[in-house]
Amino acid sequence: MEFDLGPERLKLQKRIRDFCEGEIIPRAQENDRKEAFPWDLAKKLAREGLFGIVLPRDYGGMGLDVLSLCLVLEELGRADAALALTVESHNGLCANHLFLHGNEDQKRRYLPRLASGAVLGAWALTEPGAGSDAASIKTQAALGGGGWILNGSKTFTTQGSVAGIYVIFARTDGDGKPRLTAFVAEKGVPGLGVGKIEKKMGIRASDTAQLHLHQMRLPAENVVGQVGGAFKDAMRVLDAGRVAIAAVSVGIARAALEEGIRRVKSRPADYGLDIPSPGLTYAQKTLAQIAAEIDAARLLTHRAAWLLDSGKPFAREASMAKLISGDLAMRASTEIVDLIGPEGGSLDSPAQRYFRDAKLYQIGEGSSQIQQLVIGRQLLNG
Q: Which sequence positions are flagged as catalytic?
A: 365
What is the 3-state composition of the chain as percent helix, strand, coil, each rounded to the nearest 5? Answer: 60, 15, 25
For residue 209, count other CB atoms closer than 10 A to its CB. 21
β partners of residue 229: 180
Residue 57: phi, psi to the nearest 5?
Answer: -65, -30
Where do the H-state alpha helices sit in 20-128? 25-34, 39-47, 66-79, 81-89, 96-101, 104-116
Between the alpha carbon of residue 175 and those of residues 178, 179, 228, 252, the distances in Å are: 8, 9, 11, 46
Looking at residue 33, its amino acid is: R
Q: CA-to-CA distance for 229 and 168, rounded, in angstroms?
A: 13
Minimal CA–CA distance to 46: which of 98, 83, 99?
83
> Are the C-beta atoms of 361 and 245 separated by less than 8 Å?
yes
- In contact, 233 and 97? CB cutoff 8 Å: yes
Give the number of residues written for the chain: 382
